[in-house]
Each structure stands twice: as structure tokens, then as C-alpha cells.
């Protein structure tokens, strides 16, 4: 059995150069989004709780790719307060329910990349990925054309997920 590697070179510039920060701005990209003054529709924030929020991934692996984050900029699970951890995991569950209702996927990936070496492109601000998945949803476009094929714009994904979110 051989293991083939497919390189996603299109992400190298984003990961290596920006580190998830806008030059000249303070805090992580997520902190900057929270403080930018734009409304939730413009920033694709899906849900706000007392201690955590949910936002669409601007570079999604597939439509409906969400991230659940504490408002507080921390990098490690062990830095969460008990209340933050409780709300974070409850909100991850709510996000999975919303993704299932909005997209009817065959499965859902839930994951965290802790630290840059683990694949965390914005490693200074803890975030949990919730990604709907379907059998056969990987394709050659990313590796051949350096492009993702997404069937809907982020604004449509946000509207679907807001509509599916339990209030």
C-alpha cells in the first residue's frame, strides 16, 4: 500500500504570511472581526452566546463549514474557564445540529488544531471546526486547479445556518 500526498499549496501564503492577522491590527483575525463594527450578516457570524460565538469559515472546506470560538483570545483548551468550556462544547453540539438540519450531510467532522504545528492557521485564538461531509465530497479541483468548488456563497450558507439554529 502506498500513501500519496496531495499538496494544498494555495493555503501556504495565508498560513505562512498572515498568521491569521491583518497587518497593523491588534489581536487575532477573529478578535479583529469582533471589534470591526460590522454587523453579523457582513461578518458571517451565525450565533452569539454569552461567552462563545459561531462564525462561518471564510476559507471553507465545504459549504456550511463553521467555527465555534470563545470571545476571549486564548490558544489552548486548558486556558478555558469552566463556564467557557461548558458553553463551548454545548455550542459545538448546537452547531452540529444546525449543520445537520441545514445541509443533511452524510457525516460531520468536528475538530481542533492546537498550535501551528498541528495545522492551526490562527493558533492564538482557539476555535473548533464543524464541517459537514458527504461521501465522495473530495475532488481533484483543489489539487489540480488550486480551487475549491462550493455550490453557494457564504451569505447563503449563513442564512441557511441561522435559519436552522435552535433559539
State the alpha helices, DSSP H only, in the chain: 12-13, 29-34, 40-43, 82-103, 141-145, 154-164
Task: Give the span between the Cα atoms of 71 and 9, in whole angstroms.
Answer: 30
Handedness of CA 1, 3, 57, 63 (dihedral sign): negative
Phi, psi of 160 (to 5 degrees): -60, -45
Catalytic residue among 47, 125, 127, 129: 127
Residue 65 a catalytic site member: no
Quick check: 109 and 62 in contact, CB under 8 A?
Answer: no
Closest CA to 160 of 115, 114, 104: 104
* Residues marked as catalytic: 127
Amino acid at each position: 500500500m502506498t500513501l500519496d500526498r496531495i499538496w494544498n499549496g494555495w493555503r501556504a501564503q495565508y498560513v505562512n504570511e498572515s498568521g491569521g492577522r491583518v497587518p497593523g491590527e491588534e489581536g487575532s483575525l477573529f478578535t479583529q472581526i469582533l471589534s470591526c463594527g460590522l454587523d453579523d450578516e457582513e461578518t458571517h457570524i451565525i450565533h452569539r452566546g454569552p461567552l462563545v460565538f459561531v462564525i462561518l469559515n471564510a476559507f471553507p472546506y465545504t459549504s456550511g463549514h463553521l467555527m465555534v470560538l470563545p470571545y476571549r483570545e486564548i490558544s489552548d483548551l486548558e486556558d478555558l474557564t469552566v463556564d467557557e468550556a461548558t458553553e463551548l462544547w454545548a455550542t459545538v453540539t448546537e452547531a452540529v445540529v444546525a449543520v445537520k438540519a441545514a445541509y443533511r450531510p452524510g457525516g460531520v467532522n468536528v475538530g481542533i488544531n492546537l498550535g501551528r504545528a498541528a495545522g492551526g492557521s490562527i493558533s492564538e485564538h482557539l476555535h473548533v471546526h464543524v464541517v459537514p461531509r458527504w461521501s465522495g465530497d473530495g475532488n481533484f479541483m483543489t489539487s489540480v486547479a488550486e480551487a475549491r468548488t462550493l455550490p453557494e456563497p457564504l451569505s447563503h450558507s449563513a442564512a441557511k445556518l441561522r435559519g436552522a439554529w435552535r433559539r
